[in-house]
Amino acid sequence: MLQPVHVAHKSLADYTHLVGRDVIDEIRALAEPLKGLRVVHVSSTAFGGGVSELLYTLVPLMRDVGLECDWNVIYGQDEFFHATKQLHNALQGDPQDLSEDQWAIWHGYNEMNAEQLPGDIDICFVHDPQPAALMRLADDKARGWLWRCHIDLSSPNPATIERLLPFVRDYPHSVFHLRDYVPTGMRGQVHIVPPAIDPLTLKNMALSPDDAAFVCQQFGVDVDRPLLVQVSRFDPWKDPLGVIDAYRLAKESVPELQLALVGSMASDDPEGWEYFNATLSHADADDDVKILNNFNGVGAIEVNAFQAQADVVIQKSIREGFGLTVTEALWKGKPFIGGNAGGIPLQVRDGETGFLVDSPHSCGRRCVELLADPGLGRRLGRAGKEHARRNFLTPRYLRDYLRIFSAMADQA
């Protein structure tokens, strides 16, 4: 069954003084003629990863400005999520394409979900490749279709993208984080909209240093010693093993250094546990490396606390669609080091709002530099925060979608 996701109420007015009145006024003006528009978001999971993070904020705000907005999660079992995980990996460049069976499974579940999709939708907003076949299978159920791709399609497995393209190229509107991610052959109107974070969630609201320390202490962190933190799923593209290598290098110069790897296990990511275990064994029972996940009770407040407590936040991804964790760290004004990949350089200007690195070695060296010079970290952190405020907070994101909806309404 397609599952409706229940979201809390949010009010756009609460954001006014964090982002400035101009954006809020523009949103209200754009939303006025769209009141009552029936928008249905469809995604593959309500928990874990960036898409669900975005929708828990976007859906309530779309409602607050007058849209009739719902969010449904598609039905799938393990065989489907194994296939879609492979699809995700192959689209990010993994040389292994899906097997014929896996393609059939992907298509079969899309058929089941297409049947379940309610009719009479003004805009069906489909997220990512998992449910991407919906438009082809249920075209008549919505007057407008939009496909939002949240992943890095800049160098996909050629066989995989060729097989997927017939299902996505005819979406009249599609949205990507970066121009580089748009595959050749898209026939509709393509929009570039980077994502954003919600500054008013438990994860992003300011925690006092005392509270952050109190939380981290309960996970065994010695809050009087320096701490590196990476928050991300346990996934090879996020390179937690490279982070451990960088930490080891830095620890040669800063022996009291600690590392926390904080990662949630997403319900649509069956490989997560395997990689979690690989990370544990790479850490080799080092007491100063804490490896935590949501099953240890790490939720939004804890993620917030770890980011706030960190002396340096790292996101050493090798591939990264956008990297909400990067924005979260910048918004907290933290010294930040990121992999030079995907959406990270959009957020981090090397030497201005953080540092970009290409290897565990350079990551380790930058850690030592930032730990030795807190003034440098504060300067970069402050610039990073203002960059995030101007570009990567939810009201701007909502505004960009309302502009697209206006264009869609004009064309209807």
The residue from 130, 264, 309, 394 that contacts ligand UDP (CB under 6 A) is 264
Instruction: Report the nearest approach of ligand UDP to the CB of residue 331 (Å).
Output: 11
d(CA 236, CA 238): 5
- Residue nearest ligand UDP by beta-carbon distance: 50
Q: Which of residues 316-335 bind ligand UDP (CB under 6 A)?
A: 321-325, 328
Cα dihedral 157, 160, 162, 164 sign: negative
Sketch the per residue contact string, 7 through 26, with ligand UDP: x for CB under 6 A, - otherwise. --------------------
Sketch the per residue contact string, 123 through 162, with ligand UDP: x for CB under 6 A, - otherwise. ----------------------------------------
240 binds ligand UDP (CB under 6 A): no
- The type of residue at 243 is V
d(CA 356, CA 299): 28
Residue with smaller CB distance to ligand UDP, 53 or 400: 53
DSSP element (H, E) containing 68: strand 68-73
Residue with smaller CB distance to ligand UDP, 53 or 288: 53
Residue with smaller CB distance to ligand UDP, 51 or 408: 51
Span from 46-54, 97-105, 137-145, 360-368 in contact with ligand UDP (CB under 6 A): 46-54
d(CA 293, CA 232): 9
Cβ contact 337:314 at 8 Å: yes
Cβ contact 347:387 at 8 Å: yes
Cα dihedral 28, 39, 49, 96 sign: negative
Instruction: Report the nearest approach of ligand UDP to the CB of residue 49 (Å).
Output: 4
Instruction: Report the nearest approach of ligand UDP to the CB of residue 204 (Å).
Output: 9
49 binds ligand UDP (CB under 6 A): yes
Q: How many residues bind ligand UDP (CB under 6 A)?
A: 19
Cβ contact 19:396 at 8 Å: yes
Alpha helices in 139-291 (DSSP H): 158-168, 209-217, 240-253, 272-283
Say which residues have a Cβ less than 8 Å from residue 47's Cβ, sequence separation at least 6.
Answer: 264, 266, 267
339 binds ligand UDP (CB under 6 A): no
CA angle 163, 166, 171 (to 5 degrees): 135
Residue 398 falls in which region: left (phi positive, over 0), alpha (psi -120 to 50) or beta:
alpha
What is the number of other CB atoms lying within 10 angstroms of the CB of residue 139? 12
Residue with smaller CB distance to ligand UDP, 141 or 233: 233
- What pairing do the DSSP bridges indicate for beta strands 227-231 and 142-148? unpaired
Residue with smaller CB distance to ligand UDP, 20 or 297: 297
CA angle 150, 176, 173 (to 5 degrees): 115
Span from 17-25, 176-184, 260-268, 276-284 in contact with ligand UDP (CB under 6 A): 260-268
Span from 91-99, 231-239, 389-397, 403-411 in contact with ligand UDP (CB under 6 A): 231-239
Residue with smaller CB distance to ligand UDP, 145 or 276: 276
Span from 27-35, 164-172, 315-323, 353-361 in contact with ligand UDP (CB under 6 A): 315-323
d(CA 369, CA 391): 28
The residue from 53, 64, 268, 311 that contacts ligand UDP (CB under 6 A) is 53
Question: Length of the chain, please?
Answer: 412
Sketch the per residue contact string, 286 through 305, with ligand UDP: x for CB under 6 A, - otherwise. --------x---x----x--
Span from 15-23, 167-175, 182-190, 262-270 in contact with ligand UDP (CB under 6 A): 262-270
50-64 helix and 324-331 helix, angle to the nearest 10 degrees: 70
Question: What are the residues binding ligand UDP (CB under 6 A)?
Answer: 49-50, 53, 203, 231-233, 262-264, 294, 298, 303, 321-325, 328
